[in-house]
Structure formats: C-alpha cells, structure tokens
Amino acid sequence: MGIDQVVAAVVAVVGVPLVLLGYIIVGEQVIERLPESVQGWIRPYFWALPAVGFATIFMVYPLLRTVVISFRNSADTDWIGLANYKYFFTFPDTLTSLRNSLLWLVFYTFFAVFLGLVIAILLDRVRYESLAKIAIFLPVPISAVAASIIWKFMFDYQPPGTPQTGTLNALIGLIGRDPVAWLVNSTTNNAALIFVGIWTAVGFCMVIISASLKAISSEVLEAARIDGANEFEIVRLVVTPLLWPTITVVGTTMLINALKTFDIVYVMTNGAYDTDVIATQMFSQLQHAHYGRAAAVGVVLFVAIVPLLIVNIRRFQQQEEQR
Amino acid sequence: MLLLLACSSGGGTSGGGASSTDVTVWTAWGGDELKAFKDVLAPFQSSTGIKVHLTTNRDSTNQLANGIAAGTDLPDIAPGPTDPIQVKSWVSKGALKSIETALGSDAFKAYVDNTYPALTTAPGGASDDPYIGIIGGKHYVLMVKTQVKGLFWYNKKVFTGTAPKSFDELLAMNPSQYGAQKIFCAGFESGAASGWPASDQIDNIIMRQSGDQVYINWIQGKQKFTSAEIKLGYQTFLKEVSAANVYGGSNTALSTNFGKAGDPMFNTPPGCLFLEQATFIANFFHQNKGVTAGTDFDFFAHPSMGNSQYDGNVNGFYDNFAMYNDTPAARKLMQYMATKDAQQIWANDGGTLGAIKSLTYSDPIFKRAADIANSAKNLLVTAGDFMPSDMQKAFWQSLLNVTRDPGSLDKELAHLDQVQAAAYASS
C-alpha cells in the first residue's frame, strides 16, 4: 500500500503538469495550422478549457450533486422531497444551531471588524506601530484547533477553593469571585467560543484595514484639520467613509467565516450545552451517515453565503475599475 | 504489493503462494497496546515463518465498509464491526468469514470453552447476537481482550471500610468519616466524546436495576427514554452526581477530563472516596499520582441495585478480530490468537484482561477484574457504542445537560425520544 501511495503521489505531482504541458504544446501546433481568424477565436477557449474542466469536475459537479442528494434519503435510493429541509428547519437541535450561527454572524463579525478598525486607527498614530501590530496579528497564523486548545486552558475550571489553573478563573479569583465554568454555563459558553473566534480574526481585519488606511493621503487629513475638524471628527467623517469599501470587503469575509465556523466549536465543546452551529451540525449529520440531511444543511449554508459572495465580488470589481 | 493482495484475496488457490506466508492485519491500537500486540505476534512469526503486515488504522470500520461496498481489497484480518446492522449486512455479503471456519471444529470448541462465556454465548442460546458477532448461530468475531467497567476505585489509605452491599448503602456513606469531602469524584469531559464516562455510570445502573432485557431493548431503540425504567436510571444517576455527593459539584464533574477525575482521591485532604471507572483507569492513577495498584489503591465491584436477579449483569467491552479473507496464513493467525499462549502475552504486558478465563495475572487488580468477568452472568456491552451515532451523541450530551441542570430531566428525555424515533427509523 505504501508503494501505491508513492506512485500515486509521483503521478499527481509530475504527471498532471506534464499532461497539461503536452496538451498546450500539441494543441498550439494544431491551432497554428488553422486560419488566422479561427485562431484568435478558439485560442482563449482552448487555454481556459483545463481550468474550466477542473472547476467543473471539482466544484460545479459536487455542488449540483449536493443539491440532488439533499432531496434524497440517506441511502441515496429514493426521492423524499423537502423532508431533509423540513428536518433542518423544525428539529430543536438544528434550530439551536441556527440560533447560534446567528449569534456568531452578529457578534463575531461586528467585534472582529470594529476592533480591527479601532486598533488600525489607533496604531496608525503611535511610534511602536509595527510591534503592536505583530502582537495583534500573532493569533492569525495559529490554526483554529491550536487556538481552541490554548483557550481551553485559559477557560479551565477547577473546584472552588482549589488553585485555579485557568487564567481567567485565576484572575476573577483575585477579586474574590467563585470560578466560572465558562464552556459549560449556557450564559457564557457561546460568548466564550465567539470570543476565541474574534481573537483569531481581529489581526486579519486590522492588517487589511490598516493597509487601506495608509493609502489615504495625508493631505486630505491635513485639509480637514485646517478646516477645524478635531481628531474624532476626522475619524468619523473623513477616515471611516474613505475606508468603507475595505470595511465592506472585510465585513463580508468575516460574515462568511462566521457562517463557516466549525473547528473552534468542534474542539472546545463539540456542540454540547447548546453550542452547536450550522457547520458542526452538517458534520454530525455526515458522521451519522444522514447524507441527505447533511447535504440540505450544506445547501442552506451555500444559499446564505451566495449574496455575501456577490457583494464581495462586486466590491472587488469596483476597486479594479477605480485603479 | 498488488500481486500480494491479489493472491491473498484469491483464497490460497496458488497453494504455497503469498497467502500462506503473508497476512495483512489492521488494528486501531497504538502506543503500549500496539507494542503488546507486536509482542503477541513475535512468537507466531518466528515459529510459522508467516510475515504479518500490521497497519494501525483508526478508521478501519469506515474503510472496510467502503471496501466491501466497492468490492476492493480488504485486509485479511481486522476488527469486526460493532454496529449490529453492519454485522448482519457484512455477514450476508460474505465479507466476514466465520470463526468456526477459521479455527476448525476442535480449536473452535476449545476457544468457546476457554473464553468468558458472556463473550461467546448469546443469552438464552439465541442464534443471533450481533453485539458479540453471532449471526445465524455462527461466530464472526474472535474475542482477544476485554475490560470490565463500572468498578468503584478507592485510595486504600483513605477508604478503610468494607465495600457496600447495595447502591443505597453506597449513597448513604459518610465521606467525612474517612476525612474525605464527598462520596464520589467524577469527570465527564473527553473532548468531542464528552459524556461517555457518565454513560458508563448510567449503563451500569440500568442493567442492574431493570435487567438485561430492558437494557438491550433500550440499545436497540425499542425502549423509550421516557419509559419508567430509563427515567429511573437517569434519576439514580442524578443521585450519584448531585451537588451533595460529587466532589466540586456539577461544574467540576463536567469540566474535568475523565483521566484526571480520580486525582482528588489521592490529595490531602482527599476530595472524594470513590471514582467509578473501567479497569484501564489504573494506568491513569499510576501516571498522574505515582500510586501502585493493590498497595495504594483498589476497587470493589458495582454494588447491587437491589434486584438480585440482575446482579450478574456486568458491563464490559472487548477487542476482537474478524477474518475478511480466508487464506491459510490468516487462518493460522486466527488460530494462534485464540490460544492461551498468545493471550497470556497480552495479560503479561498488562493494562488489559484477555478473553480466556484461565490466564494468570501478576497485577492484583486485573486478577480480581478477571474474577468479576468470570462470574458475570451476562457481560453486557456499553450502550452508547451500539446505538446509532446520532443517538449516541444525543444520549451522551443529555447526561451532561441533566448533570448541569437536574430540573431539565423531563425535557431532555422527551427530546431523546424524538432523536430515538428519527435515528432508528433511518438506520
């Protein structure tokens, strides 16, 4: 079996590019013999075909297949209409996961973008900017699983009256409060999970917003100051509107992240104590071999994300046009 | 490699080909368990000259299922499925070869005679018992190791009294008499599988309180969670984990990893008297606290729930192997693993019971656990492991939820009925 895998790896790494190269070389020789007018027409399609082909096989086909499966039973033997969707929108567990995903959408997105904006603006005005930015950005490259494990330690709970090894409970112990079981208690657990998400995302938002902040000409700010605006007014009336396209892109990216949230919840609670989100729900349905239900969840998630994607792509196009 | 697989799946027609000199084996074991298995295999390989190609595969059931569905090569020997539906379907597809075939009639008789009866004999002589791999009167899994669950562990320096005769007696104990804070320690956290330690506790209650038939019906989805028996089980479980009886209260039980749950027994002053857990926990005590089995800590068996006819129900789990390709080499290895000599090596390496009754254990803990397994009327499997996986997850999480909020019991049970109806209908 080991040898088979090596062979497969070699074929994939060396073989596929070779085949593509061969396709282009041979194809070009054929095209060159065609009449000039046909050449110009056919060449773009010819060059795009492998990419379009791969996208069709690996993205479009699975997408369509998912939609089909979502209307079929778990053994994929019979059509069952909207039963999988009905399950998703009526079963108490999936409704909880919908509610939680909504919490993620609102709080994760708002705080990640808002804090990213505030930090970017504040750090723009200090001498130790790059050092502070590195500190804020550090959680970004950490994988969500590692971040979750770090925060599991931070949220650790020991019985009242014993030494608290979790940083948070040790801190609230200093002011004489009893420890809190952050991940067990329903009033704190979703907030705790979302907080971890924000912790890993703020750095990303900050970096993007900060880059766009640097692009704002200092003359504009200078002019505002001369006109008598104070610093708060400058941030509110000049900087923020100029940053708005960037904030929209970062915001929609965060919204998509919020909808896709999986790893943090899976690692820290696995959905226990009412912390399930849509993506963990989809995963458990797969695990339980309810492929139809999992596909239905996937379709719902996809439909929810599409408008955000459209907004994002429009923004990118507008930015392209402005350049 | 391809040639080898082709030969081994060809069923030894080549006579003296690769299939009689090579055997492919999958196991989920790693670490010490894998080392022990290699120790078991070493004498087999040197005496027969058969080469065992061993792969650790923690996803073997899924991969076997895919292989069987797709008709691709399977390993010669791998663990059998635990899902009863899968057991039946794999037998009907001919993917599982019977142990009767693998061992031959004499060796098979010896295997059944030597092994714990609960692992090889269906209750009441039924011809189907997929929980121990029996379909149509034939055996499809070879039992090699076993563990006993539902044992109450204690620090010998703290608890100096005698083991309680009944569960009520256990609950009525006064921990301060021994200088401990509470009767029980508990730890239900286990990452994505959180809740299973709690499920072991309620399993051990229900099988002794309402009997093996109710217990098995419940696993099979024929007994509702809101039924009087299961509800009584939950209520009894809640007494065990009530704030008055469990160290640190429910938040501690829910936030503590099962591996560390027993540590407060060895603190000064001790946090609790007892931890309910399976035989494997002895290794954790040793690793975490440097204490030695037999001299520092010991256990007593699960006390009676007051229903003496069910006292012989014992909760255990087992490791097994099934044969997927009937080759001469695979048969030889199956025959070898069924022998006392092979299983004694497992017993010597420690940390587990073998499946054969007459093994000798140098560790006093396992010696006594073997007695419990031996005297068991029914060795019953762990409920959650044999429920559909969505049922299992909901069951585990319900135990966490009621531990946190005992007032939610009725709501939780009603919800479990809902999950049960959906989970078994689709499976």
- Whether B220 maps to a domain, the answer reads yes
Q: Are residues B327 and B343 in the same domain?
A: yes
Q: For the domain covering A84-322, report its CATH number.
A: 1.10.3720.10
Sign of CA dihedral B107, B110, B114, B119: positive
The per-residue pLDDT for B3 is 37
Beta carbons of A93 and B394 less than 8 Å apart: yes
Beta carbons of B422 and A91 less than 8 Å apart: yes
Q: Are residues B131 and B163 in the same domain?
A: no
- Whether B132 maps to a domain, the answer reads yes
Which residues span the domain enclosing B410?
151-312+382-426
Task: Express each pLDDT in B140-163 by its tens digit.
Answer: 999 999 989 999 999 999 999 999
Residue B198 contacts A where some CB pair is shorter than 8 Å = no
Q: Are residues B183 and B285 in the same domain?
A: yes
* Rounded-to-integer distance, Cα A16 and Cα B198, Å: 52
* Rounded-to-integer distance, Cα B407 and Cα A195, Å: 29
Beta carbons of A271 and B401 less than 8 Å apart: no
Q: Are residues B211 and B248 in the same domain?
A: yes
Q: Are residues B242 and B272 in the same domain?
A: yes
* Rounded-to-integer distance, Cα B299 and Cα A304, Å: 55
Residue B194 contacts A where some CB pair is shorter than 8 Å = yes
B-chain residues near A162 (CB < 8 A): 248
Q: Are residues B158 and B231 in the same domain?
A: yes
DSSP letter at B384 equals: G
Alpha helices by DSSP H, listed for B49-176, are 60-70, 84-92, 99-103, 105-114, 117-120, 167-171
Choose the closest CB to B390 out of A92, A272, A284: A284
Amino acid at B62: N
Q: Are residues B292 and B354 in the same domain?
A: no
Q: Mean pLDDT throughout B171-185? A: 96
- Whether B376 maps to a domain, the answer reads no
Q: Are residues B306 and B389 in the same domain?
A: yes
Beta carbons of A290 and B388 less than 8 Å apart: no
CATH number at residue B191: 3.40.190.10
Q: Does residue B16 or residue B308 have the better pLDDT?
A: B308
Using alpha carbons only, what angle is made at residue A163 by residues A162 and A168, rounded to the nearest 5 degrees?
Answer: 115
- Whether B374 maps to a domain, the answer reads no
In sequence order, what DSSP letters do the residues of B323-370 get, joined into one string? Answer: ESS--HHHHHHHHHHTSHHHHHHHHHH-SSEESBTT---SSHHHHHHH
**Structural domain spans, chain A:** 2-69, 84-322
Q: How many CB atoms neighbour CB B347 within 10 A?
A: 23
* Rounded-to-integer distance, Cα A67 and Cα A302, Å: 10
- Whether B59 maps to a domain, the answer reads yes
What is the total count of domains within chain B? 2
Alpha helices by DSSP H, listed for B281-339, are 281-289, 328-337
- Whether B377 maps to a domain, the answer reads no
- Going by pLDDT thresholds of 50, 70 and 90, the confidence category of residue B90 is very high
The residue length of chain A stands at 323
Contact A108, A101 (CB under 8 A): no
* Rounded-to-integer distance, Cα A257 and Cα A261, Å: 6
* Rounded-to-integer distance, Cα A27 and Cα A18, Å: 14
For residue B206, which of B52, B417, B395, B358 has the smallest C-alpha distance?
B395
Q: Are residues B161 and B302 in the same domain?
A: yes
pLDDT in tens, chain A (323 residues): 467 778 888 888 998 889 999 999 999 999 989 888 888 888 899 999 999 999 999 999 999 999 999 999 877 788 999 999 999 999 888 999 999 999 999 999 999 999 999 999 999 989 999 999 999 999 999 999 999 999 999 999 999 888 899 999 999 999 989 999 999 998 999 999 999 999 999 999 999 999 999 988 889 889 999 998 888 898 889 898 999 989 998 999 999 999 999 999 999 998 889 999 999 999 888 877 788 999 999 999 999 889 988 888 888 788 777 76
